[in-house]
Amino acid sequence: MGGVKFSVRAVILCTRGDTLLTNCGPGEHGSGFHFLPGGALRADEDAAQAAAREWHEETGLTVSGLRLVGVVESFFGQPGRREHEIGFYYHLPAPPDLPDGTFTVQDNPDVQCQWVPFDRIEATPVYPLVVRDLLRVPPGEVRHILNREA
């Protein structure tokens, strides 16, 4: 679309206490790039279905209790490789059978899931950079956020 990659994603903010589950692994950004579990919607799939499917693919667990907390329009990438992403962000309290430590994503052995303390989200950093705002959305509310990253 005009030289800009466009995508629609469903994303999960899985929390346990004061920690957030992130994915980290190799790729164009290199090791240490933290992002959230989730992925692209398929044709004829709504965002909640996509979030549940992605969660199962990545963790092997079924999901219940997803709560939509935000819709984020993100604009990011270097000149010539810009991206425009619309993300539907769902909060999920960590299921008890989810490991407490680092574990490998089931559908990508190069990616690890790990817990990042809330007070380390910016320093890590976890992308998109508006994650902390989404963690503060009270039950019954949904935020629309415009996120522009260099």
Contacts of 100 (CB under 8 A, 6+ apart): 16, 115
pLDDT averaged per 10 residues in sequence order, the chain, 150 residues: 87 97 72 86 96 96 94 89 94 95 91 94 90 95 92
Residue 31 is predicted with a pLDDT of 57
Q: What's the predicted TM-score (pTM) here?
A: 0.92
Q: How many contiguous H segments (helices) and E segments (strands) does the chain have?
A: 2, 10
**The predicted structure's pLDDT at residue 27:** 55
Q: Domain total for the chain? A: 1
Determine the 3-state secondary structure of 87 from DSSP: strand
CATH number of domain containing 87: 3.90.79.10
Residue (of 56, 63, 47, 66) closest to 8 by Cα position: 47
* Rounded-to-integer distance, Cα 124 and Cα 79, Å: 24
Structural domain range at position 26: 5-148
